[in-house]
Amino acid sequence: MLSDANVAAVWLTLKLATITTVILLIVGTPLAWWLARTPSKWKGVVGAVVALPLVLPPTVLGFYLLITLGPHGPIGQLTQFLGWGVLPFTFAGLVVASVFYSMPFVVQPLQQAFEAVGARPLEVAATLRASPWDAFFTVVLPLAKPGFITAAILGFAHTVGEFGVVLMIGGNIPERTRVVSVQIYDHVEALEYAEAHVLAGGMLLFSFLVLLALYSRKRTSAWK
Amino acid sequence: MISDQGIQARFQVGWPGFTLDVELRLPGRGVTALFGHSGSGKTTLLRCLAGLERRNVGSLKFKGEVWQDDARGIYRPTHRRPLGYVFQEASLFPHLSVRRNLDYGRKRVNGGHKVSLDHAVELLGIGHLLDRMPERLSGGERQRVAIARALATSPELLLMDEPLAALDLKRKSEILPYLERLHDELEIPVCYVSHVPDEVARLADYVVLLSEGRVVAAGGLRETMARLDLPTAFTEDAGVVIEAVVADHDETYRLTRLDFPGGGVVVARRPESLGHRLRFRVHARDVSLALARAKGTSIVNLLPVTVVEVADADTPAHVLVRLDAGGTPLIARITRYSLDHLGVTLGKSMWAQIKAVALLG
């Protein structure tokens, strides 16, 4: 039912979403923690920058990423200096772009979860001899688990669903940057509606199931 | 009473609308009550002792060890201070069973366990709760587990922030006996924050009165509670705490006599056996004065006293009179009119009539 090209696109999409989600959980956790706890006046600025992809057209984000990561951009100069070449039109470039694009979908649920946990459990843990790191892993992480699940689901699903940024930064290279959303666009351009239906229907089903899982998760906490 | 074995503290911390500025020396054992109205800074002071209020500037020495000295850049973080802390509201980790809550602090303590887990569990009567999750406990049970959890770390200092405040009367009376056992059995100093005079009178040996972020009085419980020179906020509820021994039971009239240095009072029959020690509180408003031993009165408790001090009370119409009943202090709240008409002067011998005593426990 799936052509080889479609299988390659699905595989590439899942790989991109998985890697992006893992990176975002690692990068997003300290960022969300800082946003949840800091009294700094920079909190508003950083929070706004993180949220920008929610409102910007993907073409704008993609355009600036293309410039910055390109051969004449500052990051591009750095990656060339390090011998990594330039990132646009590579899978690595897609990962970098997706990390920025899906950032708010991971950072915001984590920030809310950390804010809900509050400072008190950390204080309690400190009076029970737990160092801040110890308390983070043994108290905050378990208490914020529902937030982590939401963040991972949203980050993954949003990366699967991206299109504009991929076109801007990754182009349309089979097995390297041609993800499902781009593949559907190609099929429709070529009037291959049957092929498009398979992928589009699959995306619809996938998205519905993800959101169904997210919204029907019990409001009760995960440890009960 | 207070030596290098105690606690020496000096803290300054403030934010808009509030300043705490205290200098304290606290005894190295027994229960110290940090007493004051809400907003007086007692919880903030407790948090400074625990190291939870990092914004404070000052110094803290616990039994000769420096825990904080900002002049020398020393600050020992909370998790490296050998203390136990009981928060006002339930603070159990909701994702851990009672047993794992108890183990959380205990297994992070290096070295000997002076307080065994079994002892803490037994002391607080929570043996039957070990496998439950915190959400399945009543408010009183949660607080008992929280106290046991703090004790299980074998703390050298126990800090308690109004551990009974969030509980109703029934739960309070359920926990108070356990707190009294702590008082009797623990060798370590306990700092106990409270705004309830009866709780303080029942549990404390030493009291620090706080008002608007400052210490207004500090000292032994009986001496401090009997002082008249305190702000009105404290004198409207003025009274003394007396420690007495059960001396006699009268089965005909169902009464019990309690003896204390310099006298005794008769109260309704108590269940305690002879020789048992009891604390009771006599409110100033329940003490009146007479020139001679009254005859034909229904008041049973009449004590010969000497007038020691007269001070303003909470209203201009009243005065507080400090009395000496053969070594035990009493305070009477009488009208200024009576003061003048009875000719109450320092050193005068009179009779105190005690309308009611509040037994604690």
State residue A132's pLDDT score: 94
Other beta carbons within 10 Å of B268: 10
Pick B85's closest partner by Cβ from A127, A134, A139: A127
Smallest Cα distance from B10 to chain A, Å:
21
Say what percent of chain A tops pLDDT 70.
96
State residue A3's pLDDT score: 83
Q: Does B91 touch chain A (CB under 8 A)?
A: yes
Per-domain boundaries in chain A = 4-216
Pick A127's closest partner by Cβ from B83, B93, B135: B83
- Pairwise CB contact (< 8 Å): A138 & B84: no
Q: Whole-angstrom distance between the N-terminal and C-terminal Cα of chain A?
A: 43
Residue B324 has pLDDT above 70, yes or no: yes
**Contact yes or no for A171/A177 (Cβ under 8 A):** yes
Residue A68 has pLDDT above 50, yes or no: yes
DSSP state of B32: E
**Residue B239 is which amino acid?**
G
Residues of A in contact with B109 (CB under 8 A): 129
Measure Cα distances from A68 to A16, A56, A65, A86, A97 in Å. Answer: 21, 17, 5, 10, 11
Angle between helices A4-37 and A91-117 (to 10 degrees): 40
B127 three-state secondary structure: helix
ipTM: 0.80
- pLDDT band at B236; cut points 50, 70, 90: low
CATH level 2 (architecture), domain A4-216: Orthogonal Bundle (1.10)
- The Cα B14–Cα B153 span in angstroms is 31
Structure tokens at B89: 């509201």
- pLDDT band at B286; cut points 50, 70, 90: very high
List all residues of chain B from 63 to 82 with a beta carbon under 8 Å from chain A. Answer: 77-80
State residue B232's pLDDT score: 58
The upper half-sphere exposure of residue A122, i.e. CA atoms within 13 Å in the direction of its Cβ, equals: 19
Smallest Cα distance from A221 to chain B, Å:
9
- Which of B48-52, B139-143, B216-220 has maximum average pLDDT? B48-52
Domains present along chain B, CATH in parentheses: 7-231 (3.40.50.300), 239-360 (2.40.50.100)
List all residues of chain B from 113 to 142 with a beta carbon under 8 Å from chain A. Answer: 133, 135
- The Cα B68–Cα B51 span in angstroms is 8
pLDDT tens digits for range B96-111: 999 999 999 998 987 6
Residue of chain A nearest B102, judged by CA positions: A128
Pick A124's closest partner by Cβ from B77, B91, B109: B91
Tell me the average pLDDT across A7-33: 95
Tell me the average pLDDT across A94-110: 95
pLDDT tens digits for range A195-204: 999 999 999 9
Tell me the average pLDDT across A184-198: 91
**Contact yes or no for A123/A45 (Cβ under 8 A):** no
State residue B111's pLDDT score: 67
- The Cα B341–Cα B335 span in angstroms is 10
Tell me the average pLDDT across A117-125: 94
Tell me the average pLDDT across B22-37: 91
Q: Does B55 touch chain A (CB under 8 A)?
A: no
Residue B1 has pLDDT above 50, yes or no: no
Q: What is the DSSP code string of B240-287?
A: EEEEEEEEEEETTTTEEEEEETTEEEEEE--SSPTT-EEEEEEEGGGE
**Contact yes or no for B151/B120 (Cβ under 8 A):** yes
Residue B173 has pLDDT above 90, yes or no: no
- The Cα A136–Cα A121 span in angstroms is 9
B324 three-state secondary structure: strand
DSSP state of B39: T
Residues of B in contact with A131 (CB under 8 A): 79
- pLDDT band at B361; cut points 50, 70, 90: low
Query: What average pLDDT does the structure give for chain A?
Result: 91
**Interface residue ranges in chain A relative to chain B, Cβ cutoff 8 Å:** 120-121, 123-132, 134-135, 138-139, 142-143, 221, 223-224
- Pairwise CB contact (< 8 Å): A129 & B108: yes
**Contact yes or no for B205/B31 (Cβ under 8 A):** yes
Structure tokens at B305: 């006293």
Backbone φ and ψ for A220, nearest 5 degrees, come out as -65, 155
Residue A121 has pLDDT above 70, yes or no: yes
Residue B7 has pLDDT above 60, yes or no: yes
State residue A223's pLDDT score: 45
| Among A3-7, A189-193, B163-167, B233-237, the least confident range | B233-237
pLDDT tens digits for range B85-97: 999 887 999 999 9
- Pairwise CB contact (< 8 Å): B79 & A126: yes
